[in-house]
Amino acid sequence: MKAPLSLIFILFLFSSCQPIMMKMAGMNNIKSFDSLKYEEMAAELSSNYPGPKDSYAISDTAMVNYSVLFDTTFQKNTFQPIQLLYFKDKDLTSYHANCFAPGINLKHLDWNTEGRFDQYIPKSAVDLEKYSIGLDQLIKAIQIPVDQDKILKKDVVVFFWTRMVPISAKDLNEIMVKNATAYSKDNLPYVIYLNTDKFMSKASN
């Protein structure tokens, strides 16, 4: 497990999947999981979303368990610091990650490139025909206590984020909220916010 953890920290795959300078890019070096800072940012993200939601800080092993749900050609994407997954009828129908969003400048990414978020559900950044997974598989892999009654007859959005790239996380959260409230306000999706600081902090050591 050590090799992919180190690799993902070194590469920090942004718009072109190449390394960039941390300070210039608004990145934080997370050496350990800080529960107070996690709770502060988790509250900030979730408070902007008016629909049903839950927040969790997942373990480093949960990220590895999540990655093996996909084949090896897709696994590098599952270690991205920012990811957004849309599930309809519990099937993955739209996937977004930082390395599929071109840079506007060093600190901001164009998440809506190609008009991806001009519709609901947003157009996937990648073709999922070969890579689709089920929501129940994901929940089991990352071991979070999701109440099945909450997600009954609802779309589900899973948002992987880390304090290591707070600007990108906040930018994407804003776009996700605007998209959901504009196009699906009568039945807002259930959003699961998943913080990956425990994984990212180990990757940096």
pLDDT tens per residue across all 205 residues of the chain: 443 433 343 344 443 334 444 444 567 788 889 999 999 999 999 999 999 999 999 999 999 999 999 988 888 889 899 999 999 999 999 999 998 998 887 688 999 999 999 999 999 999 998 877 999 999 999 999 998 888 888 999 999 999 999 999 999 999 999 999 998 888 999 999 999 999 988 876 6
What's residue 19's pLDDT?
43
Q: How far apart are CA 199 and CA 76, in angstroms?
A: 14
pTM of the model: 0.87
Q: What's phi and psi for 138, nearest 5 deg?
A: -65, -45
Q: How many CB atoms sit inside 10 A of residue 32's CB?
A: 10
Judge contact between 203 and 30, C-beta under 8 A: no
Alpha-helix runs per DSSP H in the chain: 2-11, 35-47, 60-67, 75-78, 135-142, 148-151, 166-183, 197-203
Residues 6+ apart with CB under 8 A from 129: none
Rg (CA), the chain: 16
What's residue 66's pLDDT?
94
What's residue 140's pLDDT?
95
Q: How far apart are CA 117 and CA 94, in angstroms?
A: 11
In the block, residue with structure tokens 């206590």: 145
